[in-house]
Amino acid sequence: MKIKKILLYFIVIFIIANMFPNKVMSEDKERSSEKINVDARCAVAIDSNSKIVIYEKNACELVPMASTTKVMTTLVALKYGKLDKKIKISSKAAGIKGSTVGYKADEKITLRELLYGLMLRSGNDAAVAIAEAIGGSIEGFAKLMNEYADEIGIINSHFETPHGLDREEHYSTAYDLAVATSVAKKNPTFNEIVSSRDVDGKEKGFTRSYHNINKILWEIPNANGVKTGYTGKAGKCLITSAPVQGNDVIIVVLNCPKRWKETGKIYEYIDKNYDFQKLYSKGDRALELKVNRKNLRLEYEDDIVVPVKKGCKYTSKIVKPKKINYTVNKGDKIGMICIYEDGKRVYKNFLRASNTVKVRRLLNWTF
């Protein structure tokens, strides 16, 4: 009798455990992650690929961001400029205040070299020269910055300058800067620049050599960027990119007196408390639907690797359309995969059709 009760107990437990599909692996609640207090007005850490927020403090507060602005300056320059085109340094660029490389009026410098001066030395003179060459003026370049920000989903920022010196209507958020950096890091030229510690001018064919003032490249093992910043209003700022378990994490701290230490604290917190897990592979079949009596196969658009926090429960859900009464072509985005952490959505991405299904007349299918 006792054996039957024990068997019945385990059967019930097994049924309950399998009532909730699509569970993502996580640690036991007893191994709950530690908490940290970061001495910064605003801070955020995101996984560069999935853009999942791993840590945040006032991440969406509008604040001045100093020379971290130059990430967006570089993005716009890489989009519209020609790297090997020489740019003449104007007297306005040569006379700008704040941190400079020391370019002289009438010098001719390639855009490629100016970007090294911009990101390694935080050269405001490089920023003005780039803006004048690509946008026609600082104002014209700022317009390009704001337009491109909209394109990549940065909606809580406004740019007035390419260098980040304090202006009333020049502001961003820690989260927006992290997103901009994740976009920039998809560009090999950007990665090469911001990860460089020292650049020999002769080897590169530049007019001078450059030493990177970003100490985080020496503070965190394998850190690969990105940008420092400081003004009176913005305080000390820093955007960092560093791998955790082979996955780049973007860390932003704004108005942070001990930016190197606090960035290191966030990095260690993530390394100790998160495991990166690959849930689905690009091209794997996600779902099959009936459209006009034919099978429409949906697949994952990208590899889905997410940071899983110890002590949290993760689930996934596929959101599918109720009706499809139109032709679907291979590659079309249909439906969505969503990942939830303790019931809160932390990730979403489209699914795509892996085959074409044609609909030649109006049909009304309900799924």
208 and 73 both lie in a single domain: yes
pLDDT at residue 13, as a whole number? 36
96 and 161 both lie in a single domain: yes
User: Is 243 domain-assigned?
Assistant: no
- Least Cα distance to 42 among 266, 252, 269 occurs for 252
Q: Is the peptide bond before 101 cis (omega within 30 degrees of 0)?
A: no
What are φ and ψ of residue 178, in 5° steps?
A: -65, -40
CA distance 191 to 177: 16
What does the pLDDT look like over 105-153, one tens digit per residue? 999 999 999 999 999 999 999 999 999 999 999 999 999 999 999 999 9
pLDDT at residue 297, as a whole number? 95
Classified as helix, coil or strand, 160 is: coil
Per-residue tokens: 148: 């491109």
Residues 320/297, Cβ–Cβ less than 8 Å: no
pLDDT at residue 302, as a whole number? 92
pLDDT at residue 20, as a whole number? 35
Per-residue tokens: 340: 């939830």
How many helices and strands (H and E) does the chain possess?
11, 17
67 and 211 both lie in a single domain: yes
Residues 310/275, Cβ–Cβ less than 8 Å: yes
- For range 22-31, the mean pLDDT: 42
Per-residue tokens: 175: 């989260």
User: Is 49 domain-assigned?
Assistant: no
pLDDT at residue 360, as a whole number? 76
333 and 192 both lie in a single domain: no
103 and 208 both lie in a single domain: yes
User: Is 139 domain-assigned?
Assistant: yes
Task: Choose one of 199, 215, 231: the last residue of a domain.
Answer: 215
Summary mean pLDDT of the chain: 90
Tell me the CB-side half-sphere exposure of residue 172, using CA atoms within 13 A: 37
User: Could you tell me whether strands 86-88 and 108-110 are parallel, antiparallel, or unpaired per DSSP bridges?
Assistant: antiparallel
Number of domains in the chain: 2
68 and 211 both lie in a single domain: yes
What does the pLDDT look like over 195-243, one tens digit per residue? 999 999 999 999 999 999 999 999 998 999 999 999 999 999 999 999 9
211 and 290 both lie in a single domain: no
202 and 304 both lie in a single domain: no
Kindly report the CATH number assigned to the domain that includes residue 294: 2.60.410.10
Range of the domain at 306: 20-32+276-367
75 and 27 both lie in a single domain: no
Cα dist from 200 to 139, 184, 206, whole Å: 33, 24, 8
72 and 129 both lie in a single domain: yes
Percent of the residues in the chain that have a pLDDT greater than 70, as a whole number: 89
pLDDT at residue 8, as a whole number? 41
Task: Choose one of 215, 242, 258: the last residue of a domain.
Answer: 215
Query: Confidence class of residue 361 from pLDDT cuts 50, 70 and 90?
Result: low
Count of CB atoms situated within 10 Å of the CB of 122: 26
- For the entire predicted model, the pTM comes to 0.87
Task: Choose one of 164, 183, 215: the last residue of a domain.
Answer: 215
What does the pLDDT look like over 41-85, one tens digit per residue? 999 999 999 999 999 999 999 999 999 999 999 999 999 999 999
Which residues, including other chains, have CB under 8 Å from residue 313's CB and lie 6 or more apart? 23, 26, 341, 342
Lowest mean pLDDT among 106-110, 181-185, 229-233, 323-327: 323-327
Task: Give the position of tokens 């009464």.
Answer: 325
Better-predicted residue by pLDDT, 179 or 24: 179
Residues 225/191, Cβ–Cβ less than 8 Å: yes
89 and 180 both lie in a single domain: yes
Per-residue tokens: 297: 């196969």
27 and 94 both lie in a single domain: no
* Eight-class DSSP state of 163: S
User: Is 105 domain-assigned?
Assistant: yes
Cα dist from 245 to 59, 227, 254, 305, whole Å: 24, 22, 25, 11
Count of CB atoms situated within 10 Å of the CB of 250: 26
User: Is 190 domain-assigned?
Assistant: yes
Kindly report the CATH number assigned to the domain that includes residue 133: 3.40.710.10
